[in-house]
A and B are shown apart, each in its own frame.
Chain A
Amino acid sequence: MNKRNVVINVEYLTRVEGHGNIVVDVKEGTLEVCRLDIIESPRFFEGMLRGRSVFEAQHITSRICGICACGHTLASIQAAEDALGVTPSEQTVKLRRLLLHMELLDSHILHIYLLVAPDLLGVKSFIPLIDTHNKVVRRALRLKQTCNEICEILAGRHVHPISATVGGFTKLPKEKDLDAMRYMLEGMRPDMEATIELISKLKFPEFERDTEYVALVSDTEEYPLLSGDVGSTDGVRMHKKDYRSVANEFVVPHSTAKHAKLSREAYAVGALARLNLNYEKLHPHAREAASLLGIRPKCINPYLNTAAQLVECVHCLEDAAMLVEDLGKSGIRQEERILVALNEQSAIPVRAGNGVGAVEVPRGILFHNYEIDEQGTIVNANCIIPTTQNLNNIEHDMEKLVPELLDRSDEEITLALEMLVRAYDPCISCSTHLTSVRIQR
Chain B
Amino acid sequence: MKKPKVAFFDFACCEGCQLQIANFGEALFDILGMIDVVEFREVMSEKWNGQLDIAFVEGSITDFHAEERIRQIRERAAILIAYGSCAAIGGVNGMKNTFDLEEIRKYVYGPEYHFFATEKTKAIPQVVKTDYVITGCPVYPPEILVVIKAALQGTSCSPPDYPVCVECKLNENVCMYDRGVACLGPVTRAGCNSWCINNGNICYGCRGMISNPNERGAREVLEKHNIPLPFVVNKMNLYNKCRE
**A positions within 8 Å CB-CB of B:** 12, 14-18, 40-44, 46-48, 50-52, 56, 59-60, 63-67, 69, 110, 114-115, 118, 124-127, 130, 138, 141-142, 144-145, 148, 155-160, 162-163, 165, 169-171, 256, 258, 337-342, 344-345, 429, 432-433, 435, 437, 439
Contact = CB atoms under 8 A, between A and B. Distances in A.
B173 to A, nearest CB: 11
Closest 6 CB pairs of A and B: A66-B16, A145-B25, A170-B200, A156-B199, A125-B44, A47-B104
Given A429-B13, A435-B112, A145 B44 contact: no
B29 A66 contact: no
A127 B6 CA distance: 13
B204 to A, nearest CB: 6
Contacts of A155: 199
Contacts of B107: 46-47, 50
Nearest to B33: A130
Contact of B43 (A18, A114, A432): A114
Given A126-B43, A163-B201, A340-B176, A42 B116 contact: yes
A243 to B, nearest CB: 17
B16 A63 contact: yes
Given A14-B41, A432-B108, A141 B204 contact: no
A43 B138 CA distance: 17
B200 A163 contact: yes
A127 B26 contact: no
B109 A42 contact: yes
A41 B69 CA distance: 13
Nearest to B93: A43
20 contacts: A42-B105, A42-B109, A42-B118, A43-B93, A47-B108, A48-B92, A48-B95, A48-B98, A60-B238, A63-B16, A65-B16, A118-B45, A125-B45, A141-B25, A165-B201, A170-B201, A344-B180, A344-B182, A437-B116, A439-B115
Nearest to B66: A41
Nearest to B18: A66
A67 B195 contact: no
A429 B199 contact: no
Given A41-B12, A47-B105, A160-B16, 13 more contacts: A42-B62, A47-B96, A48-B98, A63-B137, A66-B15, A124-B44, A125-B44, A130-B32, A159-B20, A169-B200, A339-B181, A341-B201, A437-B115
B223 interface: no
Contacts of B24: 141, 145
Contacts of A337: 200
Contacts of B227: 344
Interface of B: 11-20, 22-26, 28-29, 32, 37, 40-46, 62-63, 65-66, 91-93, 95-96, 98-99, 104-105, 107-110, 112, 115-116, 118, 137-138, 176, 179-182, 195-196, 198-202, 204, 227, 238
Contacts of A64: 14
Contacts, number: 192
Contacts of B202: 340-342
B22 A144 contact: yes
A132 to B, nearest CB: 15
A339 B25 contact: no
A306 B198 CA distance: 37
A160 B138 contact: yes
B101 to A, nearest CB: 9
Most chain A CB neighbours (cut-off 10 Å) among B15, B26, B200:
B200
Contacts of B199: 155-157, 162-163, 170-171
Most chain A CB neighbours (cut-off 10 Å) among B24, B25, B104, B238:
B25
A312 B46 CA distance: 30
B19 A15 contact: no
Contacts of A138: 26, 29
A80 to B, nearest CB: 16
Given A14-B41, A44-B108, A429 B46 contact: no
A322 B174 CA distance: 34
Contact of B118 (A18, A41, A51): A41
A124 B41 CA distance: 11
A179 B24 CA distance: 23
A144 B23 contact: yes
B105 to A, nearest CB: 7
Contacts of B45: 14-15, 118, 124-125
Contacts of A65: 14-16
A137 to B, nearest CB: 9
A170 B199 CA distance: 7
Contacts of A144: 22-23, 25
A291 B195 CA distance: 43
Contact of B196 (A48, A148, A156): A156
Contacts of A46: 107-108
Nearest to A251: B112
